[in-house]
Structure 1
Amino acid sequence: MGVVFSRSLFIKQAFLTLVLAIVLSLVSSGFQFFEGISDQKAEINQDFEELLAVVEKPLSEAVFRLDVDFAQQQVDGLLFSPTISHLEVRDESGNIFVEATGAKRDFSVPKFFTDFFLLDLQNYERKLHLETPDFDAGYLYLWPEKRYLLDRIFKEQLSILVYNLFKDLLLASLLSLVFYFLVTYPLMRLTESLSHVGHNDDIPLPKSFHRHHKLDELGNLHATFASLWKKLNTALSDLERSDSHTKAMIEHAADGILLLDDSNKITLVNLTAELMLKKSAIELKSHSLEALHTPSSWVEFLDVLQNLNLDTPLTVEARYQIQGVELPVEIRMAKYRVQSKVETILLVRDVSERKDAEAHIHRLAYYDSVTSLPNRQYLSDKLCDVLKSSRGTNSSSHSAVVFMDLDRFKTINDSLGHNVGDQLLCCVASQLDSLIDDNIVFARMGGDEFAFLLVHLGDNEVQVEKAVNKFVRSIMYACQQVKKAGHHEVHITASLGATIFNGDGASVEAILKQADTALYRAKESGRNTFALYKTEMQAVSDARLEMEKALHHATESKFFKLYYQPQTNDKNQLIGAEALIRWKDEQKGFISPAVFIPVAEEIGLIVEIGQWVLNESLSQVAIWLKEGKWDPSWRMSINVSPIQFQQAGFLPMLKEQLEKHEVPASCVDLEITENMLLNDLTSSLEKMHAIKRLGVHLSIDDFGTGYSSLKYLKSLPIDRLKIDQSFVRDLLTDKSDEAIVHAVIAMAQALNINVLAEGVETFVHYDRLREIGCFFYQGYYFGHPVPPEDFIAEFVHD
């Protein structure tokens, strides 16, 4: 029955309505029944009281007269009522005067019903009393027939119960019919319409449905269904479009796509995968995934695949076997759950081109393009590996790094050309490579510098040193052999420096630095030599490194100051000053420019320092000009490093500084060294002429100490030669120095070039220079270099 009821809303409603009506009717009738019994009890009490009142007087008289027959007659008359079960009349003493009992009858109501429903209906007692004469005759006792009374009540109430039940069932039936026509039937029509509606169709319903149910709940239900159906149609359209897009993206994806089921069988393959793996989708689905991999690749890949967690994408590399050819691939895998099933998607990418590119990049990063030897980075990495392995095993085995530099290579490169130089490097690399065994790394560090890493030479440092010396001698001997570079036979030698280490607290940088220090010491000792790093060399190296760090810090923090030394003529008149840089270190105090300027040139700071000097000196001249303390005819001499002078941006920077400080170009005298001219005379001449066109003066500083030919002087646009102080200092005691000074002054006069002597420290020097025709001076005799405020105070007179 439950299945039947579950199929029809109308049947459910009708059944429940009838059941509810019956229950409610029975409950209502039960209330009426109990209420009826209560009313009947009141009527019974009233009837019995009235009956007793009627017979009270006759029975009282009968007892007074002791008329038993009359009394019996009265009692028997009362028994004609079926509601009385027994009667007794007792006299004043309590003795029975008369009594009567009703005939026995059968009743349909059980006795316990009467005890339950008429429990409170008791026996009746009436006192018999005569008023005339005043006499208490006794008592009348009456026992009601309860079963008869209850049977009569039941019969009366049963008819009411049947009537109410019929009425309620009829009402429930009518309500069910109304519900059917108002709710069930329209719902049936609506559901029938929904069951026949097609994709992208509206829900078809008769106009009467809309007319009768437009504003009620069924109308709202229809509107809701229509809205949901519209949204569902939209969602279905979007889903179809998304599915088409997904299929198109899978099919046309740049990566091969393989979909695996929970047993790792291939269930989906896209076109890219077919082309990459050179198999159709049917072939791939019929083969296992293992068939695609090389044996070694499959073991590792299977382990990763089996341990892959859900929703945790992972990228691995593997090797596929495609028609006998190995194909490196990159696989992006992800495992996920779809409707209680686990699937795995593999995005497979051919990385053979990338691997080739990585190999090429690796070669570019770790190998020299000219000699094909490992480069500095490769050697450093190998050295790092050696140090790590030594620390990991606590081994005392010694290794060594040997640096080698070809002697006179720059001369060969410049004179014979770079092509010949490269061929020579290749020839050296090829010849030395034959001396290299498995425990030696041979690398080109750059330029004409090579390096050797000798690994695990032994535990005895003395024996290791002998082995290194033997290896170095073989290298030096090989380098001395005649080399063919192009059409040239070249004779070269090599300088070598080495360091021995066992990995105890050493670093890659420190070891390479030690080898470089040893090589530098070998070069200082002469060419074609070898030096082994010793601890005492470290002090020199550390001092140099400390100087470099301090110089960087000083440059960044602008710890430099400019001092100014006066320049005068033979009449003791000020003609200008030279700006001299001074550096006062916090720990070491003043450091001579002769010490830190060469270091600055080597580490590339000289350009920045030179720019600062030019800016600071021009700024000071500008201030003095505004204050009227600098004569426009005076010159500020500023030293320019050859490295700074050769910079392409030097001339624009000079113009910018002159314009920035608004200093007349005639107030500036740039001092350059003659060695600068050796690098590129043509370029230097062009730049010097451009400087002269600006109006800036040019001087050759430290003249006589360089190596340039004197014939250059006639073509140089210079205004002044500065005789180096080394010649002036011994002018009075050394005839050679005097002769040089004479020659320089005479040559300068012939070329119409002024001469200024540096290092004039005494009056005797000054007097002798004036005698031989030098009329411009600079030195301690005229004034020491001083800060700008002291310079004005000491040498500028108002």
Structure 2
Amino acid sequence: MGVVLSKSLFIKQALLTLVLAIVLSLVSSLIQFIDGVHDQKLHIDKDFDELLAVVEKPLSEAVFRLDIGFAQQQIDSLLLNAAIAHVEVRDESGAVFVQATTTDDDYSVSSEWAEYFLPEIQGYKRQLRLETPEFQAGYLLVLPEKRFLLDTIFKEHLSILIYNLFKDVLLASLISLVFYFLVTNPLKRLTETLSTAGHKEELPLPKSFLRRHKSDELGHLHSTFSQLWNKLNTALSDLERSDSHTKAMIEHAADGILLLDENNKITLVNTAAEVMLKVKGESLQSSSLESLHAASSWGAFYKILNSLKVDSPQTVETLYQIQSAELPVEIRLAKYNIQDKIETLMLIRDVSDRKETEAHIHHLAYYDAVTNLPNRQYLADKLAETLQSQQHGQSYSAVVFMDLDRFKTINDSLGHNVGDQLLCCVASQLASLIEENIVFARMGGDEFAFLLTNLGSDKARVEKAIKGFSESIMYACQQVKKAGRHEVHITASLGATLFDESGYSAEVILKQADTALYRAKEYGRNTFALYKAEMQAVSDARLEMEKALHHATEFKLFELYYQPQTNDKDELIGAEALIRWKDDTKGFIPPDQFIPVAEEIGLIVEIGHWVLNEALSQVATWLKEGKWQPSWRMSINVSPIQFQQAGFLPMLKEQLEKHKVPARCVDLEITENMLLNDLSSCLDKMNAIKSLGVYLSIDDFGTGYSSLKYLKSLPIDRLKIDQSFVRDLLTDKSDEAIVHAVIAMAKALNINVLAEGVETLLHYDRLREINCFYYQGYYFGHPLPPNEFIAAFVHGSATLKPSL
């Protein structure tokens, strides 16, 4: 690398050193000059004192003798000294006796300079007197020639100045040379080395440089440069790797990447963007961003792009126009500032698959998988929207619930596949009746619903229209349906409710429609019911019953009463445990009112568990106290739902072991309807119960689907004739025939028979005549609490006394 003279460090150093040397030399000479002037003043004072001392006496005598010539001669001799400018002698009266002045010569310095440097030297005065005789002769005044004195001083110090200046300049030159060889030249070589070194190369220097400057500042400088150079090489390598890495990530990114300048022009395009947009990068860079967008999406996107702030990323969804199709994309926008330039990064992702998935999920969430109709959630949302937009009194809307009659029977007999086909057939047929203001939805199972909006403000006309609509639905359902290979005949029950203001909630409206549907089914099915306020009272009573039943179950507010069972010899053979519930406000609630509710809401299993535990606990207590005979049976009713539970048999074993009650003291009563669901499973469970030693009875026999087919194969010990047949035994020949048939059938199958509902002596006698020997009813005793039962039917006699 060439050295520019005007910028050479050596020249700068040499000039600076020379100037400093000259300045220092001049300052030193000035100081010496000032000191010399001071010393010269002292010397001048001394010379003048000595000179005046020489002429003092002769001049005193000349004045005493009034010898002017001699006196003039003396002062003229003083003027021979160039340092004296003027001499005068004055007598004692102050008059000039004699005087003399030197001629005005030229000097190298001016009077002003002389006055400036020698201000203290003004003149020398000496008194003239004689000692013998004592005489005051006056005084002698000598004025020095300051220009001569200063000129003499200058000449004396000029040689010193020249000497010092030469010496200092020479020294500065030597220092500059030394600096050049020690600093400038090595630095020059070092910089030349730095300028010629290539990337990833070491800093090559002659060994002489390293040898001479290994331990000095230049060596340390070279070491520092070497470290910095290595760091720079490392940083450059990292930067190159980072740049390559960034390019590779951009190029191989799964998402499309576009980079925009501050004018929103495309400056960078990766391969994924080219593939996604089906355009080459060069074409994209020469086109506008707007050309990528669908016409409907550009305005909103442009507004977001322009309002985007630096370092505030934002994600937007928009539509791109790819050839002739629209492509939904998600774009991550990020605006940033690099080296005072604004850039915008666009990360583009194809979300068409996600949109399809979202649409599929939305369809699954809001549409029924079997019929492809809107589902319950869809209808509830639409109902909520209607309530929000509807204004009071302006127009009525309605919700109609529809339930297919006997669908469960069809589903169970023909199979679920046929049932699903039937649902699809119904949905397809009813869809043709749906108008623009009607939402037709499947609520689940065989239940459908219709939401009819903006029906008008005349309530009577709207009710008539709803009734007509429901009749058209019922008529359509009555038409023969093709389900697979089967022709199916079905009917439908419908319940509807009207509303005309947003004060209702969707839950209340749906509940009202469901209440109306429930009432329609009570009317006999294949009919229509419109919700009335009095229906709600029934529904509220049901809800109140459910709430109270939950409370009673949780806090065990039930009681067990016991009704005696006897034989034809009036002997106690056992008792039936009957649950009783006394509510704080309603008093005793009959089991036939709350047991069906408990079965519907799922509490019957917990209640049944409590009954079994309570009854066995009571039997165990009575056995210990000797109040219960081991041959007596405790009849305990088991709900079909409880019996079908997988854990029923283990629970029964656990209770028997817990209370240590002999199995022969327990008689479980089940209903015959339970056997229709799964005879095989029921038979296995009944055999397992019998293997424990527990007795089994069929309760309410004759009221269900009585069949010899299953009766002959069941391990049962007793049939209980339902009280509805016993009550009219004396007056209804049909009931008497049924009782005769049951007794005869049971005798043939070697099964005992117990008649329920025996209330009079006439009933008792008639049953004995037709060979029924076991009884239960009010004639023998009402159900009583445990202590009262023992007091009434156990203590005091071995035979039971009927109550008259």
TM-score tier, shorter chain, comes to 0.7 to 0.9
Specify the code of the residue in structure 2 equivalent to 1:268: L
- Which residue is equivalent to 1:305? 305
- Which residue is equivalent to 2:442? 444
CA distance in 2, matches of 1:482, 1:636: 52
Specify the code of the residue in structure 2 equivalent to 1:598: P
Residues 406, 139 of structure 1: CA spacing in aligned structure 2 closer, same or farther, 3 A cutoff? same
CA distance in 2, matches of 1:341, 1:258: 16
Instruction: Indicate yes or no: 2:89 matched with 1:93.
Output: no
Specify the code of the residue in structure 1 equivalent to 2:542: R
CA distance in 1, matches of 2:60, 2:14: 67
Aligned pairs (5 A) from 1:387-426: 387-390=387-390, 396-426=394-424
For residues 480-531 of structure 1, the C-alpha deviation after alignment (integer angstroms, 9 at most, x for no partner) is 3333334444333221111111233122212111111111121122212222
CA distance in 2, matches of 1:134, 1:457: 162
CA distance in 1, matches of 2:615, 2:48: 146
Aligned pair partner of 1:538 in 520, 536, 539: 536
What is the TM-score of this pair, normalised by structure 2?
0.84
Aligned pair partner of 2:454 in 436, 453, 456: 456
- Which residue is equivalent to 1:468? 466
Residues 398, 714 of structure 1: CA spacing in aligned structure 2 closer, same or farther, 3 A cutoff? same
CA distance in 1, matches of 2:753, 2:611: 24
CA contact (8 A) 1:405 1:449 kept: yes
CA distance in 1, matches of 2:619, 2:190: 100
Instruction: Indicate yes or no: 2:172 matched with 1:176.
Output: no
- Which residue is equivalent to 2:207? 207
- Which residue is equivalent to 1:230? 230
- Which residue is equivalent to 2:266? 266
For residues 744-785 of structure 1, the C-alpha deviation after alignment (integer angstroms, 9 at most, x for no partner) is 788767766677888999999999999963389999958744
CA contact (8 A) 1:760 1:777 kept: yes
Deviates more, 1:413-422 or 1:525-534: 413-422
Aligned pair partner of 1:477 in 475, 491, 498: 475
CA contact (8 A) 1:37 1:153 kept: yes
- Which residue is equivalent to 1:366? 366
Structure 1: which 5+ residue stretches go unaligned? Answer: none
CA contact (8 A) 1:560 1:583 kept: no
CA contact (8 A) 1:757 1:778 kept: no
- Which residue is equivalent to 1:351? 351
CA distance in 2, matches of 1:116, 1:590: 141
CA distance in 1, matches of 2:208, 2:361: 81
CA contact (8 A) 1:566 1:795 kept: no
- Which residue is equivalent to 2:80? 80
Displacement of 1:64: 3.1
TM-align CA RMSD: 4.4
Residues 783, 510 of structure 1: CA spacing in aligned structure 2 closer, same or farther, 3 A cutoff? closer
CA contact (8 A) 1:658 1:664 kept: yes
SS at match of 1:560: coil
CA contact (8 A) 2:564 2:783 kept: no
CA distance in 2, matches of 1:636, 1:97: 179
CA distance in 1, matches of 2:19, 2:623: 119
Displacement of 1:95: 2.1
SS at match of 2:476: helix
CA distance in 2, matches of 1:623, 1:45: 153
Specify the code of the residue in structure 1 equivalent to 2:286: S
Displacement of 1:589: 8.1
Displacement of 1:454: 1.0
CA distance in 2, matches of 1:237, 1:408: 82
Aligned pairs (5 A) from 1:42-61: 42-61=42-61
CA contact (8 A) 2:759 2:777 kept: no
CA distance in 2, matches of 1:464, 1:263: 62
Deviates more, 1:78-87 or 1:445-454: 78-87
SS at match of 2:441: strand
What is the TM-score of this pair, normalised by structure 1?
0.85
For residues 692-742 of structure 1, the C-alpha deviation after alignment (integer angstroms, 9 at most, x for no partner) is 445665554555654443654443334566677878999999999999889
For residues 541-591 of structure 1, the C-alpha deviation after alignment (integer angstroms, 9 at most, x for no partner) is 334345545656776xx4235645457776998979849586867x87887
CA contact (8 A) 1:428 1:479 kept: yes
CA contact (8 A) 2:619 2:661 kept: no
Residues 116, 422 of structure 1: CA spacing in aligned structure 2 closer, same or farther, 3 A cutoff? same
CA distance in 2, matches of 1:321, 1:345: 20
Q: Name the count of aligned residue pairs.
A: 786
Structure 2: which 5+ residue stretches go unaligned? Answer: 796-804
CA distance in 2, matches of 1:707, 1:594: 20
Residues 56, 322 of structure 1: CA spacing in aligned structure 2 closer, same or farther, 3 A cutoff? same
Deviates more, 1:466-475 or 1:662-671: 662-671
Specify the code of the residue in structure 2 equivalent to 1:559: F
- Which residue is equivalent to 1:71? 71
CA contact (8 A) 1:405 1:450 kept: yes
Displacement of 1:127: 2.7
Specify the code of the residue in structure 1 equivalent to 2:407: F
Specify the code of the residue in structure 2 equivalent to 1:165: L
SS at match of 2:390: helix
CA contact (8 A) 2:270 2:281 kept: yes
Residues 132, 766 of structure 1: CA spacing in aligned structure 2 closer, same or farther, 3 A cutoff? farther
CA contact (8 A) 2:620 2:660 kept: no
Specify the code of the residue in structure 2 equivalent to 1:227: Q
Instruction: Indicate yes or no: 2:637 matched with 1:642.
Output: no
Residues 176, 668 of structure 1: CA spacing in aligned structure 2 closer, same or farther, 3 A cutoff? farther
CA contact (8 A) 2:561 2:786 kept: yes
Displacement of 1:597: 4.3
